[in-house]
Chain A
């Protein structure tokens, strides 16, 4: 039940963009350096994010990317949908049986709904907020 590297790296990159784009557009090479990610792969990831209208690319020497909408209007569901596709824990390939159908409705759909609830109700702003709090507590630990 694994999230792909695209989903994992893409989410980190987008959160990084959210943190740094207040001062202007953010270059992929800066994100690559900060997040220890491959620039090539980031280009691939950001073409997904652009297609999903989550980021806007700015061309030119001082170019880069900015968020296409404010972080409180970007749900985790949109981000992972753009990067991972379908987030369901099962597919309906193969022959269906009566017990299988019962389990789809009473176990796998239930899990999907719970996960979906989190994805739909968590925004990029929520993620940025929780990072800020984490950094605040990290500062205190140096005292």
Chain B
């Protein structure tokens, strides 16, 4: 039931900006280097994040990225959805009509997927970038 590597890299990139980009713009090369991914791949990720309004960009040689919203308003769930579209382990959780089975109105198993989805969203939709930034800094002994 794997989350895409892309969405995990996106969260890492966003956390990087939250921690190191509070008062300055962070450029793509810097983030790519820290995340140990190719700059092109990183640009794809940040393009999706920008489209969702989660980051803003300033162009030019001194340009870069900044968070598009306050870090306490950005949840893990928002970031994953910006990259992957949705966070459900089975499509029918979001939309029963997406199920092509003849017996979908009497489905024996959908409830299980709904329960699992709730467990995932309970974490992902509550955890903010601010929570993670604060924890990260606390772990490294910086206040």
Contact = CB atoms under 8 A, between A and B. Distances in A.
A107 B123 contact: yes
Contact of A34 (B103, B112, B127): B103
A89 B8 CA distance: 10
Interface of A: 1-3, 8, 11-12, 15-16, 19, 34-36, 76, 84, 87-91, 93-95, 97, 99-100, 102-103, 106-108, 110-111, 114-115, 117-119, 122, 127, 130-131
Consensus secondary structure, chain A interface: helix
Nearest to A99: B12
Given A115-B120, A131-B108, 7 more contacts: A8-B90, A34-B103, A84-B1, A87-B1, A99-B136, A107-B76, A107-B124
A1 B84 contact: yes
Contacts, number: 112
Nearest to B8: A90
Interface string B105-120: 0011101110110011
The number of chain B residues touching the other chain, given as a range, is 35 or more
A97 B103 contact: no
B90 A12 contact: no
Contacts of B102: 36
A106 B132 contact: yes
B39 interface: no
Given A12-B108, A99-B12, A114 B113 contact: no
A122 B5 CA distance: 29
